[in-house]
Amino acid sequence: MGDYRTAQQGRTSGSPTIRVLVTGFGPFGEHSVNASWEAVRHLTVLDDLKDVVDLFVEEIPVKYHEVSTVVPDLWKKYQPHLVIHCGVSGLLAWKNTIQIERQASCHGYHRPDVDACVPLRGYCVANDGENCITTGVNLDGLHTWFEGAATDRSPEQSQHGATLQCQMSEDAGRFLCEFIYYTSLRINEKATLFIHVPPLDKPFGAAEIADAIKTVILRVCEQNNFTATTEEAAAKNFHITGVPHLDVSPKPAQTTNDESFHIADVQHMMLDEMQNALQ
């Protein structure tokens, strides 16, 4: 298990009743400092947010196996009314926007994580996963949220003469971002969102990105009855322990002569060999 830091633990009698868990990812690839985690941890210093919600933040490694085991544990640990996963997207560089993802797919995860691993056959959930799950969080009036937030900001609060806006997407990228989203949507689709953020300083810093995430949290909490949806999820017996079965051995892809094998194909062949040996 990686280094999971919680910004705020324990509750007092005066704590807000809406428990919000926000996650960001650790380093990977060109993102040696991941904008999503830098922005998420900055949320913990925003008093106007902590006055409204009971906030918890966690850093998640860019590893399929860690996501599949840690995320359900976080749901059980915090019993959140709302979970927002955040990840960085290079496609948003210089575009002055964050991106809320509407849905996540069960399959198509063939891009290796930081341990050079992928899920067996590219599936998040073996056999019984829904092909695609759409968030049930009410996002009506999304653009007006950000128009209002921009109006409220002073020129000094925007270092670049621009403010972050928000757009919707139906393609979360089939990497760890979509993988973690599907994992949580499968637990409770009515209380789960995913936000893609731009890389740091292109042109926005962590504080500005955090402010945009805060806007989403506050507006979503205003127009959704998360206490009711959490109770409904429990009544429907959402299985937090019903998590993806993965075969993500940390062995690198194997090669024979000049032919490269995809990690998932190697794992599939190894599994077939084991099954044949047991027959």
Catalytic pick among 58, 59, 66, 101:
101
Catalytic pick among 166, 177, 178, 221:
177
Task: Answer yes or no: 106 catalytic.
Answer: no
Task: Answer yes or no: 177 catalytic.
Answer: yes
Task: Answer yes or no: 232 catalytic.
Answer: no
Catalytic pick among 66, 117, 196, 221:
196
Residue 35 has φ and ψ, to the nearest 5°, of -60, -35
Residue positions annotated with a catalytic role = 101, 177, 196
